[in-house]
Amino acid sequence: MKQINVKYSPLPHIKDSYANHPYLCLGKQKLFILSTVIVIIFLLYCSKKSELFETSTESSSHFVETESSSISPGFVYSDVVFNGTKADLLLTNESDRLTKILPVSHVFIVSAYYYPTSKSLGKNAVAINMVVDSKNFKVDHSNYNIVGSNETHSELSVAESQSEAIKMCRYAPVVARANSVDRMSKLEMESEGVKVEIPFKLARYTAPKPVIICISPQFVAEQWQIFLMHVHVAHRFGAHMHIYIISIVNAFFDLMKEYETMGYLTMEKWVKMKITNSETPYFELNLNTELRNQAGALSDCLLQYKEAAEFIAFFDMDDILVPLNYPTYLQEFTAEWQVQENTTSLIYGRREHEFVKGMIHVLIRSGQVLPDPVRPGLKLNSERLSEFNFHELVASLRSSLVKAGKSVVKPALHNSTWIHVSHREAASTRHNVAHPRLIHVQRPIQKHGNNEIKALWKFDFKAFNETIKEEDIQAIEVDIWRVRNISSIAEIGTRLPSVDYYFPIVFKCYLDEFYGRALTKCPNAERCKLPQRSDYKCIHTDAEYFSGPTMKPFTYHFSDNPVWSKDYGCYQ
C-alpha cells in the first residue's frame, strides 16, 4: 500500500515582476556595480554577526527555543499539508467537535490479535483494538466486517464490539471480536465489497510471570527513581511489568533496556495515531482521544496476555502495590478474589504520597559505602543512581487522601478495559479491597531543585500509613544494590537526570487543562508545550503509517513496523 507522508509545504517561488521596470533600464552598468558593493558589505556584516551569535550561543544556556510553527509527532496543525495539498479536510472548530456528523467514521487500528484457541473467545478468534469516531453513531455494540484468510480460502465474519468511551472525547477506544479461519495468515476489514488489509499478531500463550502489571503509556519519561521503586517491588512480589512508552529520556531508556534484558519487564512501543491520507473530513485523532489512548494501551496489554497470565493489573508507573497479607501478588489476588461472589475485578484504592529524592545517610565500612539508616554518617545525593537508597526512600514517604482506584482482573473475564475500571462490568461485581492501598507516589520532592510541584499540587501530607515489611525493604535494597553495581548500569547511572525538568511542565499543563475540575473538553496533554534542550535528548516511537481507501461507514487507518527513533525530540 502506498504511504503518503505528512510534509511541510515549501514556500512558492516569487516571480520577478520588476524585470521590465522603466527605472531599472537606465544606467544598468552603474546600478550593477553599486548593487554588487552593497551585497558584499551586507554579506561581510552577516558573517561577522553569525560568528558573534555562535560564540554567545556556545557560552550561554543549553536551552533551545522551539519555534511556534514546529510540529510534534502526531499532532496536526492547520498548516500541515498532505502530499503537497493543504489539509482542508482537517476539522478544527472547537464548537462542533462533539456534535458534527461526518460522511464517514474514521477508525485507527491500534492492534489486532489472533487466537488459534481461547478460553473465553473460542477457536480462531480475532480481537481488534481500535479508536473510533463515536459521534457519528452509537459506537457501542456496533458491528465490523472482517475477512480472515489462510492458504486455501477466505471467510467473512461479523465482529461485535464494545466501547470504553467517555462523553467528552470524539474518538472512543473500542475492541471488536469475531471468529475466523484456521491458521489465519491474512486479516482484512471489509465494507460494501471494499477491503483493506491490516497487520495482526499472534496472542501470547506464555508469560514471564503469572501476574502482569500493565503500565500506561509514558511520555517524556524522566522519573527513574519511581521506576526503580516500582520495578524492584514488582520483581520482589512476583510480577512482570509491561510498560508502554511514547518518549523517554535517553539515559532512562538505556536503563530500562537493561532491566528488559534481565527479564524484569517488557518495553512496548506506543505510537502516535496519524491519518496519512483522507478524502473525507476528520478531527485530529490524538487531540480528541482521552489521555494518549491509555485505555487502548491497557486493552492491548489485556489482549496480548489474555491466554497467558492468571492476573493482570492495570497501573500507572507511580502506582505501587505492596501486598499486606501474602508474600506474592498471585497469592494476594487469589485470596481477595474469593472474598466476594461473582467477582469480575479487584479494585485497589490509591493513597496520595510524596517522597524525597534527597540526601541519604550512609556508613563507610571497609572502604565501601553501605546503607545504614540506624547509624547515619556520610551524606550523599540520592538523586544519583550510585547513591539510590530504598530504605531512605521509604522513610521519606508521607501519606494523604485516597483517590479513585485501579483494577486487577482475570483476563478471561474481560475483552477491554478503561483507565480505572472497565465500563463493561457491573459495579456490584467489583471487589473493593480495603487494605493494602496503592502507594501513589505522584509528588516526588527534590532535595536539590525548585520543587514547583509542591506549589502546584497541594495536599495535607501526614505520616506514612501503609505497611511495608522490613524484610521486604531489605530484600529490595539488596536487589537494587546488586543491579546498580553491574558495570553497564553503573555507567548509565552517571547519565541519568538528577533534576526534574519535564515533570513540573507536564503537571502544570494537566492542572491547567483538566486536573481538579469538571471536564469541558477531551482530557489529554496534546496542547502542552514541551520546550527542547540541547542537553536533554529523548527516544521517541515512530512507525510506518497507512490509510486505507475511503470506505463507508468506516474508513481505516493504521501503523506497522514500529521503531525507536532519536529524530523527534522530547514530545508526547
* pLDDT for residue 353 is more than 90: no
Average pLDDT of 258-275?
98
Average pLDDT of 207-224?
97
Average pLDDT of 2-17?
28
Do 213 and 411 meet the contact criterion of CB atoms below 8 Å apart? no
Single pTM value for the model: 0.82
* pLDDT for residue 70 is more than 70: no
Q: Report the share of the chain in percent with pLDDT over 90.
A: 64
pLDDT at residue 361 in the model: 39
pLDDT at residue 451 in the model: 59
Give the residue with greater pLDDT, 514 vs 55: 514
Average pLDDT of 191-207?
97
Q: Report the share of the chain in percent with pLDDT over 70.
A: 77
Give the residue with greater pLDDT, 26 vs 264: 264
* pLDDT category of residue 453 using cuts at 50, 70 and 90: low
pLDDT at residue 61 in the model: 30
* pLDDT for residue 279 is more than 60: yes
Please give the Cα distance from 518 to 522 (Å, whole number): 11
pLDDT at residue 18 in the model: 29
* pLDDT for residue 130 is more than 50: yes
Torsion angles phi and psi, residue 287, rounded to 5 = -65, -25
Would you state the cell numbers that stand for residue 521, as one nine-digit string? 473538553
How do residues 376-386 score in pLDDT, each as one tens digit? Answer: 333 333 478 88
pLDDT at residue 169 in the model: 95
CB atoms near residue 241 (< 10 Å): 26
Do 227 and 202 meet the contact criterion of CB atoms below 8 Å apart? no
Please give the Cα distance from 462 to 467 (Å, whole number): 15
* pLDDT category of residue 460 using cuts at 50, 70 and 90: confident
Do 110 and 127 meet the contact criterion of CB atoms below 8 Å apart? no
pLDDT at residue 311 in the model: 98
Average pLDDT of 343-367?
69
* pLDDT for residue 52 is more than 50: no
* pLDDT category of residue 463 using cuts at 50, 70 and 90: confident
Return the minimum-mean-pLDDT range out of 66-80, 256-270, 355-369, 541-555: 66-80
* pLDDT for residue 21 is more than 60: no
- Write out 383-404 in H/E/C secondary structure: CCHHHCCHHHHHHHCEEEEEEE
Residue 152 identity: T
Measured CA distances, 368 to 5, 293, 385 (Å): 56, 47, 16
Give the residue with greater pLDDT, 328 vs 54: 328
- Write out 222-286 in H/E/C secondary structure: CCHHHHHHHHHHHHHCCEEEEEEECEEEHHHHHHHHHHHHCCCEEEEECCCCCCCCCCCCEECCH
* pLDDT category of residue 511 using cuts at 50, 70 and 90: confident
Please give the Cα distance from 191 to 175 (Å, whole number): 18
pLDDT at residue 140 in the model: 76
- Contacts for 214 with CB less than 8 Å, ≥ 6 apart: 242, 244, 297, 298, 301, 302, 312, 313, 314, 315
- Contacts for 351 with CB less than 8 Å, ≥ 6 apart: 399, 400, 401, 402, 403, 437, 438, 439, 440, 465, 466
pLDDT at residue 456 in the model: 65
Do 272 and 541 meet the contact criterion of CB atoms below 8 Å apart? yes
* pLDDT for residue 430 is more than 60: yes
pLDDT at residue 139 in the model: 80
* pLDDT category of residue 1 using cuts at 50, 70 and 90: very low
Average pLDDT of 47-67?
34
